[in-house]
Structures are given as C-alpha cells and as structure tokens.
Structure 1
Amino acid sequence: MNVSGHRISTTEVESSLVGHPAVAEAAVVGATDPTTGQGIVAFVILRESGVDSGDELVQTLRTHVGKDIGPIAKPRQIMVVQELPKTRSGKIMRRLLRDIAENRELGDVTTLTDSSVMNLIKEKLPAAPAED
C-alpha cells in the first residue's frame, strides 16, 4: 500500500495486529483515500479471550500498530468481524474486503467457502460519512 508516500506492506500491519493478545486473525487492505492516497483498513477476528469493547478496542489496536511499526501505519478503520471471506483452500479474499472498504458493489463470491460471511461483514459497516 502507498500511504502518504510511504510503502507499507499489508503483511506487516497484519502481523502487528495479530501480535496483540486480543487478536486471533487479521486481514488488511488499502482503500482509496482522498488525503493520503490509500488508507489502511483492517478486519480482525478476536481470540476467545478478546473482548470487543468497540471504540476502546479499535484505539488500543491502532496504538499497538503505531508503536510497533510507526504512526503512519495506523489503520484508518478497524472492523471486528466473526469470520473473514475465504476460498475453499483457505485463502483470504482481500479483493472482496477492498470492495467493502471502498463501499463498492461486491464482485464474484462463488469461490467463497461461505458467501454469507460477506453479508455479516456488510452489516457491520458504519454509515457512510456525510459529504461537506
């Protein structure tokens, strides 16, 4: 991803998020951002011991990534989800996560193990911010 002229690896941010004791699995995508070029959007699954405390957890995870990698790598948005969209072979479909992060129409979901996962993720989307 290219965030404000800095090359940041999705794997690097995912690794940092999974390094937090509350996070079991993470997927990171770059979404178009008018200010920075790309913004980091993270989707995380919590461990059984992890508690979804809403904004408090999101800020904790953003701070964790900021300390681990640097402030430029803090995700602009972190969504706690129950499951990630995966193919039958177990690969995460980042293309679909990018579609969600950019509020686009979802592409082909026929290769997913469970296509209902995408509906669950879309339901968690915050309302689009009002245009100025």
Structure 2
Amino acid sequence: RLGTREIEEAVSMHPNIAECAVVGVADSLKGQLPLAFAVAKDVSKLSSAEGKKRLEKEVMATVDKHLGAIARPKAVHFVTLLPKTRSGKTLRRSIQAIAEGRDPGDLTTIEDPNALEQIKQALHA
C-alpha cells in the first residue's frame, strides 16, 4: 500500500525541493489522487510559467524513478511556505479541505494564515 508519506519522501528527494506536503484529493474515477504542494530551495527557477512547468516535470520524474508512475501526483503546486501549527506540524487536513473546496476547519493553531492563502492561489493559478 502506498501513502502520502512515501510520495512526500520521493518528492523531497528532488535537489530543489526544501519541503513538501502531499494530500489525497477526491477523484470520481480513481477515488483519490495525490496532490503535492512544495517549497522550492531556489525560487528563481519559478519566476516563469516555463520554469514552474519544468520543475514540476522534474519532480514527477523523481517520483516515477523512486516509486513508479502509479505514485505520480496529479500536480505539483509551488508555494513559499506550507501551513503549519505553531509547533511546526503541517496542516495536511486543512490543505486537503481547501483542495477539495471544503472549509479548512479549526485554524486557531496556525502559525501564518498567509500560507493557506498561498495554497488557495496555487490551486487557482
């Protein structure tokens, strides 16, 4: 069985990825598909749509190499920070809710609310 943790580890193996979060989003055909949100080490490579596409393809190729095409994310969205609690835990449930168009729930422990805004913007870019 393959989980989001294994996919996160594979995405993180790319040399230009500082950290990432992978969530499963509802899909009518497959049930759920992985969706990745990543923080790049070198943001200058993301300055153009072409650069983002290139890095997304490289990240997907890294996942293919380590886990196979079955684990390839539906998409890789790039953000400058991931939503986390003050204690440093990534708010995966909130990311998943936003990706599925649901209410993100209780956000009283979030460190930086702008991180969720970035998730929303990345999804609609």
Common fold by TM > 0.5: yes
- After superposition, where does 1:43-122 map in structure 2 within 5 Å? 43-48=37-42, 51-52=45-46, 53-122=51-120
Match of 1:35 among 29, 32, 57: 29
Residue 120 of structure 1 deviates from its aligned partner by 2.1
How many equivalent residue pairs?
121
In the alignment, structure 1 segments of 5+ residues that lack a partner are 1-6, 128-132
In the alignment, structure 2 segments of 5+ residues that lack a partner are none
Please identify which structure carries the higher helix content: 2
C-alpha separation in 1, matches of 2:62 and 2:121: 26
Residue 110 of structure 1 deviates from its aligned partner by 1.4
C-alpha separation in 1, matches of 2:96 and 2:2: 16
Aligned residue for 2:45, secondary structure, equals coil
Alignment root-mean-square deviation, CA: 1.5
Matched to 2:86, the amino acid is: R
Match of 2:124 among 103, 126, 131: 126
Residue 123 of structure 1 deviates from its aligned partner by 1.6
Task: Decide whether the 8 Å contact of 1:21 with 1:50 is kept in 2.
Answer: no
Query: What TM-score does the superposition give when structure 2 sets the normalisation length?
Result: 0.89
